Amino acid sequence: MKNKGLGEFEELVLLAVCILKGEAYGINVKKEVEKHSGRTVLLGAVHITLYRLQDKGLLKSEMGGNSDKRGDRRKRLFEITSLGMQQLESAQEVRQKMWSLIPQLNSGH
């Protein structure tokens, strides 16, 4: 599969899932993205993105345990796949390479 790249929001969601290791479900991912991006994010947008990334094979999910706090509903927990990690690493390499090519950052001025 040719790497088509990640959208900015997809990348932020994948990074949040990695940071949350084992506790990545909708509301936690939303909070993590907001905390690091400094912007407000809709929970619906997070859910849509999580499922889209799962459909692309970049995330996998399973149902977590029940809790009284959630009215006995179970959480869907997301985890990055090896393909998802490859996509993140590729995105990071492209960004770093391009940043290093900005003339005023490399001239010492």
pLDDT tens per residue, range 88-102: 999 999 989 999 999
How do the domains of the chain map onto residue ranges? 8-106
Taking a C-beta distance cutoff of 8 angstroms, is the pair 4, 20 a contact?
no
Run of H or E including 53: helix 43-55
Q: In the numeric block, which tokens belong to residue 96?
A: 């770093």
pLDDT tens per residue, range 46-78: 999 999 999 999 999 999 876 656 566 789 999
DSSP 8-state symbol, 58: S
pLDDT band at 103 (very low <50, low <70, confident <90, very high): confident
Helices 43-55 and 26-37 cross at an angle (nearest 10°) of 110
Domain 8-106: assigned CATH number: 1.10.10.10
